Amino acid sequence: LKENNARRLWHPMTHPADSLANPPDIIVEAEGVEIIDIDGHRTVDAVGGLWNVNLGYSCQPVKDAITAQLGRLPYYSIFRGTTNDNVIELAEMLAEFFAPDGLSRAFYTSGGSDGVEVALRLARQYHKIRGEAGRVKFLSLKKGYHGTHTLGASVNGNANFRTQYEPLMPGCFHIPAPYTYRNPFNETDPARLAQFCLAAIEDEIKFQDASTIAAFIMEPVLGAGGVIPPHESFMPGVRALCSKYGILLIADEVITAFGRTGSKTGSRHWGVQPDLLVSAKAITNGYFPFGAVMISDAVAEVFEKDTTGKGAIGSGYTYSGHPVGAAAAVACVQEIERQQIHLNAGARGTQLFAGLQALMARHQIIGDVRGGHGLMCALELVADRASKAPVDKKIIGKVHRATYEAGAMVRVSGNNIILSPPLVVTEADVAKILSALEAGFSSL
């Protein structure tokens, strides 16, 4: 296995040459909040799978639901004329879960990238039904990540995920994110920076002509771009601009839905009701690929009352509404509600963030610490604090390895170390992550 690991297998988001030089760790088992590799090395999973294993790896009710469903109805499509009982039950549960966000209808996908694609398509379609066919453009944030499909890649705000695949979808425009550590305004005050970014959005809306813009898509807290929480005024400000100019607001909550920010959803964290919300990841806790795009009453009604014939949904996947995925999701949402995991995410997130700030005081290589909103935190590593030049990739690799050896799996993204452990971590688990990181940085 070890030999064929890099030779036969191309890993996502990885240069094949890097995999060959440094074969990825082979994880063979998981239990609670820990993962175990092929050599029997056990570590706290401070990545939470890939921001998705919010309930940890030993969630018996979900395992039972999947097993029962596999024996009863392993698959049937929900295309044209058939459906299954699980997807109906799930839609009802999701409508209740997302009710405070003003969202009441569910459209199922097989993951986050699919969901982004569906949401962007629905946005264009919504305007067409309403007779505003000119509204086709999309706005998004630099540093935003919206998956790997063509529309999603077009709105991605990180050039690394776009340039190799260009030309992508025309009509997508990226606006500076409220990233206090680095921004074109040289502004370090989060509230003022939020105002500058909002002004930049409004400027772009006017420059493009509002009547040509379909939607603004954003993550409530930017995730893969390096965990960038905005000032509390930012997302409400985006909502206000979207409403003012007739633009739909799409919340990409692939990471933030289901408790990660310490609130049940990221939109609710900022007191915002989006028009469309993309969820995936934690909806099945990693047990099955699945996603749901949630739709507001107002948007749904435009489709449901359509008399133009333009309202038929042209998006759908073989695995949309997969009965096993839906059974897993029903059990997950029940557990998420029963355990109220967002509350633990808030408390443990505060502990983690404070520990990371203390780590920064001891290690000059850490230029910025971000977090403070549940269990999503990042350390940005720099060559020196004055220049803020990103640290050499090899040095981050060394910290990553030493941290892993000391007992915590963390994620490297660019010059950031990202932490997004399961939301069920205990105080002792967080202490273990912090001491492993201390060992990681001390190894330099």
Q: Is 218 in the site for ligand PMP (CB under 6 A)?
A: no
* Contacting residues for 199 by C-beta, under 8 A, at least 6 apart: none
Of the ranges 57-65, 145-153, 243-251, 386-394, which one interacts with ligand PMP (CB under 6 A)? 145-153
CB of 18 to ligand PMP, least distance (A): 19
Select from 107, 138, 145, 317 the one that contacts ligand PMP (CB under 6 A).
145
Q: Is 254 in the site for ligand PMP (CB under 6 A)?
A: yes
Residue 261 near residue 268 (C-beta atoms within 8 A): no
Residue with tokens 């040509």: 212
Cβ closest to ligand PMP, residue 45 vs residue 202: 45
Considering only residues 220 to 239 of the shown chain, the ones binding ligand PMP according to CB under 6 A are: 223-224
CB atoms within 10 A of CB 166: 10
CB of 123 to ligand PMP, least distance (A): 15
Cβ closest to ligand PMP, residue 352 vs residue 376: 376
In DSSP terms, which residues pair with 213 in a beta bridge?
137
Q: Are strands 248-252 and 213-218 parallel, antiparallel or unpaired?
A: parallel
> Concatenated DSSP letters for 112-177?
HHHHHHHHHHHHHHHHHHTT-TT--EEEEETT----SSHHHHHH-S-GGGTGGG-S--SSEEEE--
Residue with tokens 């029962």: 68
Q: How far apart are CA 287 and CA 51, in angstroms?
A: 13
Q: Is 252 in the site for ligand PMP (CB under 6 A)?
A: yes
Angstrom distances, CA of residue 45 to CA of 32, 129, 395, 423: 9, 46, 21, 11
Helix (H, G, I), strand (E, B) or coil at 43: strand
CA angle 251, 255, 256 (to 5 degrees): 65
Q: Is 97 in the site for ligand PMP (CB under 6 A)?
A: no
CB of 329 to ligand PMP, least distance (A): 14
Of the ranges 17-25, 140-148, 190-198, 387-395, which one interacts with ligand PMP (CB under 6 A)? 140-148
CA angle 302, 307, 308 (to 5 degrees): 95
Cβ closest to ligand PMP, residue 252 vs residue 275: 252
55 membership: H or E segment, kind and range: none
CB of 112 to ligand PMP, least distance (A): 2
CB of 277 to ligand PMP, least distance (A): 11
Cβ closest to ligand PMP, residue 295 vs residue 391: 295
Q: Is 112 in the site for ligand PMP (CB under 6 A)?
A: yes
Cβ closest to ligand PMP, residue 235 vs residue 406: 235
CB atoms within 10 A of CB 104: 18
Q: Is 109 in the site for ligand PMP (CB under 6 A)?
A: no
Select from 124, 127, 142, 146 the one that contacts ligand PMP (CB under 6 A).
146
Q: Is 117 in the site for ligand PMP (CB under 6 A)?
A: no
Of the ranges 27-35, 122-130, 247-255, 330-338, which one interacts with ligand PMP (CB under 6 A)? 247-255
CB of 105 to ligand PMP, least distance (A): 20
Query: Using the 8-state DSSP alphabet, how is residue 231 labeled?
Result: P
CB of 223 to ligand PMP, least distance (A): 5
CB-count exposure of residue 283 (10 Å: 0-12, 13-18, 19+): buried
Residue facing ligand PMP at closest CB distance: 112
Of the ranges 109-117, 154-162, 400-408, 424-432, which one interacts with ligand PMP (CB under 6 A)? 109-117
In DSSP terms, which residues pair with 34 in a beta bridge?
31, 44
CB of 394 to ligand PMP, least distance (A): 25
Question: How many chain residues are in contact with ligand PMP, going by CB under 6 A?
Answer: 14
Closest CA to 226 of 346, 379, 357, 338: 379
Cβ closest to ligand PMP, residue 126 vs residue 145: 145
Alpha helices in 73-111 (DSSP H): 85-97
Residues interacting with ligand PMP, by CB under 6 A? 111-113, 116, 145-147, 219, 223-224, 252, 254-255, 280
